[in-house]
Amino acid sequence: MTSDAAETLLPIPIDDTVLAAAYRLKMLGLPWLPQVGCFVWDREAVISAPSPFPNRVYFILSIRRFTDIFGSQEKMRQQLVWVPTWHQAIQLCSRLGVADVDADQFVDGHRFTSGEDGLLRLYASIARQLEASTTESPAGARVDRDSAARLWIRRVMEEELGSLADLPHDVQLHVQSVYDETGMAYLGWRRIQDRQHEDWIPPETAFDASMLSDLGHFYSDYQNLIKSMTAIKERVKRLQAIDPSKEPDRFQRLIEDLLASHRRDSGSGNILAHLMEPG
């Protein structure tokens, strides 16, 4: 085998499809404790050092090195996307009680190999289990409030924007990230206003317009975030109204415009955390 051939043998598939599937698991509340031996996707471009792997994927060889960059393991968990290896995905299926995975032969009734298709099938099985777990009672033990909150935010996004499946992968991720950040801030403020506990989820699948407006004005830290989501909604609707086969240049310009808006790092979540503390 030549050295060139050896260089192409990546330890896991690292392309947009796999990374999108890993990000979906994160959004569904996949539990993860950062540790040595994990591949992670730095989708927010926090790490300045170049990676030996494509698409800003890094391998955790030293926890201390990563905590020096992010400040804590909790920040790592929040800002990085864990990309489980084949073996880790099999272990997750076992721990989560995924019924349609036979580690010896099949995933969801299909014979698998350790390539991209097999890994995506494993991720899909894990995702279905995480989604199903949100309907269980608290005794189900796998439901956590972060997972339930993010699923509610996703339903709100789908109600407002419809399907994003026809939009480019990068656009889908960017829209989801803006909705996630806005939605978590909205839920915190809504719970305070309604005097609800920290696990409470609104019965409706929509942002209250007046409360969203209040949030944008009450805390100056949130103004840019609310404006960003409003702009995102307008741009997505414009994109959805265009036939890219007839107006490819206009379609591409709108995509570039949408992706040019950077997500801001906000410390305002700490304000809500203090307000919600007992006493």
Same domain for 107 and 234?
A: no
CA proximity to 239, closest of 221, 224, 256, 220: 256
User: Does pLDDT of 229 surpass 50?
Assistant: yes
Query: Angle 104-95-120 (CA atoms, 0-180°, nearest 5)?
Result: 60
Query: What is the C-alpha separation between 6 and 224, in angstroms, rounded?
Result: 47
pLDDT for position 203 = 86
Looking at 23-32, 129-138, 210-219, which range is the least confident one? 129-138
Same domain for 164 and 206?
A: yes
Query: What is the C-alpha separation between 273 and 101, in angstroms, rounded?
Result: 39
Could you give the strand order of the β-sheet that contains 39-41, starting from the edge strand earlier in sequence? Answer: 57-59, 39-41, 81-83
Same domain for 163 and 241?
A: yes
Domain's final residue, options 140, 169, 195: 140
Work out the end-to-end distance of the chain between its first and last CA atoms, rounded to an integer number of angstroms.
67
Query: What is the C-alpha separation between 219 and 242, in angstroms, rounded?
Result: 36
DSSP for 169-212 reads: HHHHHHHHHHHHHHHHHHHHHHHHHHT--TT---SSSS--HHHH
pLDDT for position 75 = 85
Domain's final residue, options 112, 140, 168: 140
Same domain for 213 and 134?
A: no
What residues pair up with 242 in beta bridges, in sequence order? none
Query: What's the structural domain count of the chain?
Result: 2
Q: What is the mean pLDDT of residues 237-263?
A: 83
For helices 116-133 and 16-27, the axis angle rounded to 10 degrees is 20
Residue 66 is classified by DSSP as H
**pLDDT tens digits for 124-170?**
989 888 877 655 444 443 345 667 888 888 889 988 998 888 888 88
pLDDT for position 141 = 36
Same domain for 177 and 59?
A: no
Same domain for 135 and 24?
A: yes
274: pLDDT confidence band, cut at 50, 70 and 90? very low
pLDDT for position 114 = 52
Which helix (DSSP H) or strand (DSSP E) does residue 29 occupy?
none
Same domain for 214 and 136?
A: no
Same domain for 8 and 26?
A: yes
pLDDT for position 10 = 65
pLDDT for position 276 = 36
Q: What is the mean pLDDT of residues 180-188?
A: 85
**pLDDT tens digits for 46-103?**
999 999 898 999 999 988 899 899 988 888 888 999 999 988 898 888 888 887 665 4
112: pLDDT confidence band, cut at 50, 70 and 90? low
222: pLDDT confidence band, cut at 50, 70 and 90? confident
User: Does pLDDT of 209 surpass 60?
Assistant: yes
Same domain for 92 and 72?
A: yes
Q: Indicate the average pLDDT of the chain.
A: 78
What residues pair up with 41 in beta bridges, in sequence order? 57, 81
Q: Which two tokens stand for residue 212?
A: 């969203």
Domain enclosing residue 51, as ranges: 3-140
Same domain for 10 and 135?
A: yes
Same domain for 121 and 156?
A: no
Cβ contacts of 97 within 8 Å, gap of 6 or more: 129
User: Does pLDDT of 9 surpass 70?
Assistant: no
Same domain for 187 and 210?
A: yes
